[in-house]
Structure 1
């Protein structure tokens, strides 16, 4: 069976890798051979995909922020369509990555209507859609939509999609996480140390808008808590130099890790993090966190005054239950002083920390049971078997 998978950014590469591993398990039980060609990154390649284009570093959020990636995005979309034209697969799987995937899905629907298109982790139209036109387009070319959130499933079902709720794949990923004790031993973290994760960037723009304010907050915390040590998992290797310079500039007691992200998440006492999928992973591991995000002032102004965008929450932890479980500091509120204050409250106020952990328990109920990736793989393979 030949499957083409299309995704982008760091989180898409992770989700694609988890899915590929599950697909391989499922085809093995059926006595089939599996060939996967993909738009993705190193994790998907390690899982067994042939990478047609590396899209893990092509991603942005915002208007000004997206401009540097306009041409690379169009180029990778055209490369994918040219490949598909010459090598139509048995099945297409789209993962998030809205703009290129809408183009690819529309092309396949028009030119190869007999090739099923599955959308797994669909664009979050249920959160921030400004019109139903894009939703209609997604529904028009999608033969099966695999939802990861219950509200996402309801939204797309109401709009006419054939939907199956499978749950969130991070439920499977964190099931294999080490214990806190094992993780701290592996990383050499002494019992008396306060370990804090700094999740500053998985997109280039975040190095500019988030890294300085998060590192300034870390410096503030270091002056208040001498026993603190910061752990910085690296999303992309090309970010290392910028992060190392930031550590030196702010004189932080910090360690960069590139291949022990899960150990760091299992070991730390707290996290200061950009908004994104990583918030869910931290929550599933019971790590209190403060969520930070900034866009360019121009993008923020357009969103508020012209597009009239109204997003209830930025972090998926809060979006899942539609109430604040973790504090969010966005745009003008994302100052080093505010981050420091929110962090100190969660680190030192036991009652506030306990309330956060109770919120995490509530959130878990919306993410499904273990076996998400295998359920998704079965639903995908059913389209052709």
Structure 2
């Protein structure tokens, strides 16, 4: 049985790889042989997928920020549709990646309506939708929507989708993590050191807008805390050179590592991070964090005029429970001074740290129980079985 999976960016590649591993496990238990073809990245390839196009670096947030990626996105979307036309799969799974996946889903609905489509981790229409147009398109071409947040499930169910809430896949991923002591020993972090994780970028635009302010704040922090050492896990190896050059420019005591993100998180006293899936990973490992985000000022002006403050939070950690668990410094508030102040408070104010850790526990209950990826895989394989039985 052939499954086609479409996703993009670094987070989609991670979520896709976790799902593929679960699909392979569950298929073996059911006596099914799977072939998985995908748009994704290296992690999905390692999990067993044949990659049609690498989409990990094709993505951005914002209007002007997206312009350089229009042609690469259209090319990869056309490649996917050409493949689907020539080799119709038995089932399609879409993971986030709204622009390309809306096109692929619409193609399936119009040209291959008998092939079931599952949407796993739907676009965050439930957070920032200004009309029901895209929601209606998603509901129209999706046979089963596998939601990761309770509010996401409610939103799409209320708009006519066939929804199952499976929980968030990071609940599974963050189980096999070293203890704090083990992680610090493995990384060579001494007891007196303050280990601070810096996560400035998983997109090129973030190197431009986020890295300078985060590194300026880090520069100030290390003058105030001589015991501070910064750890920077790479989301993509291609970012190593610009990050290492910036470390020299700002004179930071910092270590850049690849492939040890979970160990760094487990060992960290604090993280200064971009907004994104990584915020949930940090929360699940009880790491206090300062969330920072900036976009092109014109993009922000347009968004504010259209959305008019309808997005309550940027970080998934805060969105899950709709309360400010972690500090968010967005756009003009994302200054080195504000980042430094928020970071120092979380490092030195034990009461503030304790409050964040308590709020993390509340948030954790909204992410579901262990076995998320296997639940999602079973739902998808059940769709396959139903198709076989109906043929």
Aligned to 1:161: 161
Aligned to 1:113: 113
1:174 and 1:284 in contact (8 A); partners too = yes
What pairs up with 1:98-177 in 2 under 5 angstroms? 98-177=98-177
1:42 aligns with 2:39: no
Query: 1:304, 1:180 → 2: CA distance?
Result: 41
Aligned to 2:389: none
C-alpha deviation, 1:31, in angstroms: 1.4
Aligned to 1:346: 346
1:45 and 1:51 in contact (8 A); partners too = yes
Aligned to 1:184: 184
C-alpha deviation, 1:309, in angstroms: 5.2
Aligned to 2:279: 279
- 5+ residue gaps in structure 2? 386-391
Counterpart of 2:134 in 1: which secondary structure?
Answer: helix
1:11 and 1:277 in contact (8 A); partners too = yes
Aligned to 2:332: 332
What pairs up with 1:1-385 in 2 under 5 angstroms? 1-308=1-308, 310-385=310-385
1:9 and 1:58 in contact (8 A); partners too = yes
- String of CA shifts for 1:119-147, please: whole Å, max 9, x gaps: 00000000000100110000000000000
- String of CA shifts for 1:192-246, please: whole Å, max 9, x gaps: 1000000000000000000000000000100000011000000111111100000
Query: 2:354, 2:299 → 1: CA distance?
Result: 36
1:231 and 1:264 in contact (8 A); partners too = yes
C-alpha deviation, 1:110, in angstroms: 1.0
C-alpha deviation, 1:308, in angstroms: 3.3
Counterpart of 1:37 in 2: which secondary structure?
Answer: strand
Query: 2:180, 2:23 → 1: CA distance?
Result: 30
Query: 1:306, 1:276 → 2: CA distance?
Result: 22
The CA RMSD over aligned residues, in Å, is 0.7
C-alpha deviation, 1:310, in angstroms: 2.2
C-alpha deviation, 1:307, in angstroms: 4.8
Query: 1:310, 1:127 → 2: CA distance?
Result: 8
C-alpha deviation, 1:263, in angstroms: 0.4
Query: 2:305, 2:311 → 1: CA distance?
Result: 14
Counterpart of 2:367 in 1: which secondary structure?
Answer: coil
Query: 1:357, 1:294 → 2: CA distance?
Result: 26
- 5+ residue gaps in structure 1? none
Deviating above 2 A after TM superposition, structure 1's stretches of 4 or more consecutive aligned residues are 305-310
- String of CA shifts for 1:299-350, please: whole Å, max 9, x gaps: 0111112453521000000000001000000000000000000000010000
Structure-1-length-normalised TM-score: 0.99
Query: 1:197, 1:307 → 2: CA distance?
Result: 32
1:128 and 1:309 in contact (8 A); partners too = no
C-alpha deviation, 1:162, in angstroms: 0.1
Counterpart of 1:138 in 2: which secondary structure?
Answer: helix
C-alpha deviation, 1:30, in angstroms: 1.1
